[in-house]
Chains A and B, each alone.
Chain A
């Protein structure tokens, strides 16, 4: 979840300008907001009001009518669209503010597979009262999808339980891997595709081929509960 909330965002934002303005001028002003910007969170915000640096990747004008301008903005998390609108207004000289805002992408999650609360409620009804779980299965995305976009390794059944007990992932446990660099976040999956843990790589993936032993991934967040897979490490002999 943390990985999703700390990844890039995309918004559709409706801005109202407080006067009649020259559209060309507005276009030029908006272009200046692409790149690295400094902004102080608005007065009514729940974060510390300290000037912060954020990257704005793109601003697209979707539509405009009279004093209203519809924008599509992609940026780093924690960028205030309200502040961008306000600042554009200041540069225009007559002020502007944000009327409406919708987030259309958060990391890998887009509007593509959105469901409404009504759909959720209907799918639940079908499952509970009609014993039909097909609709429910359609809207529940297995947690593994959250690892889309980061490299993954597949591990041996025998290594799974040790990881859930906090062990490091060592080279012999790896069945398959995608390319990654040292310090990257890497997801650890079972051969059945179940998410076991997310950890930090200790080596570059190119080194795995030459490793007979040694730590490859240091798990940071274990997702799978313990003892689903058999315990296969040796008991410490006393």
Chain B
């Protein structure tokens, strides 16, 4: 069985190699959830990562807050500051 393409893309993102062992041949019901790379844009916005080139000046916290306002989402955070 070939897994859904997107699953292989996750690992190629950071050149991670770990072979897949397939236990059984199963298909997924399209009624539930979304194919991870075909989510409607409003759902994608709520569950994404943006790799931002933060300029010196504003703090990471400020930038996270701006992103929150720009996308009008309730939650946005950052992955750690430089030199806390």
Are the CB atoms of B7 and A146 closer together than 8 Å? no
Is there an interface contact between B32 and A120, defined as CB atoms closer than 8 Å? no
Q: Which residue of B lies closest to A81 (CB)?
A: B83
CB distance A120 to B52 under 8 Å?
A: yes
**Contact partner of A109 among B26, B36, B79, CB < 8 A?**
B79
In the complex, are the beta carbons of A140 and B50 less than 8 A apart? yes
- Chain A's nearest CB lies how many Å from the CB of B33? 5
B19 in the interface, Cβ–Cβ < 8 Å? yes
Bitwise, B40-79 to A at CB < 8 A (1) or not (0) is: 0100110111111101100000010011001100000101
Residues of A contacting B3 with CB < 8 Å?
154, 176, 191
Tell whether A33 is near chain B: CB-to-CB under 8 Å.
no
- Contact residues in A for B21 (Cβ distance below 8 Å): 176-179, 205, 208-209
| Docked CA distance A155–B44 (Å) | 21
* Other-chain contact of B7, A81, A102, A154 (Cβ < 8 Å): A154
Q: Which residues of A contact B13 (CB under 8 A)?
A: 108, 145, 148
A109, B13: Cα distance in complex, Å: 9
Determine whether the beta carbon of A120 is less than 8 Å from that of B70.
yes
Interface residues of chain B: helix, strand, loop or mixed (majority): loop
CA of A157 to CA of B35 in the docked complex: distance in angstroms?
Answer: 13
| Cross-chain contact B51 with A189 (CB below 8 angstroms) | no
Residues of A within 8 A of B27 (CB): 191
- By a beta-carbon cutoff of 8 Å, the part of chain B in contact with chain A is 1, 3-4, 6-7, 10-11, 13-14, 16, 18-24, 26-29, 32-37, 39, 41, 44-45, 47-53, 55-56, 63, 66-67, 70-71, 77, 79-80, 82-84
| Apart from A106-B80, A117-B66, A208-B21, 8 more pairs, CB < 8 Å | A106-B79, A107-B79, A140-B50, A141-B49, A143-B49, A144-B36, A190-B28, A192-B28
Sample 27 A-B pairs with CB under 8 A, ordered by A number. Answer: A82-B83, A108-B13, A115-B51, A115-B53, A117-B52, A117-B63, A124-B71, A136-B41, A136-B45, A140-B49, A141-B50, A142-B47, A148-B11, A149-B14, A157-B32, A175-B23, A179-B18, A191-B4, A192-B33, A193-B10, A193-B35, A193-B36, A193-B37, A194-B36, A208-B21, A228-B33, A229-B33
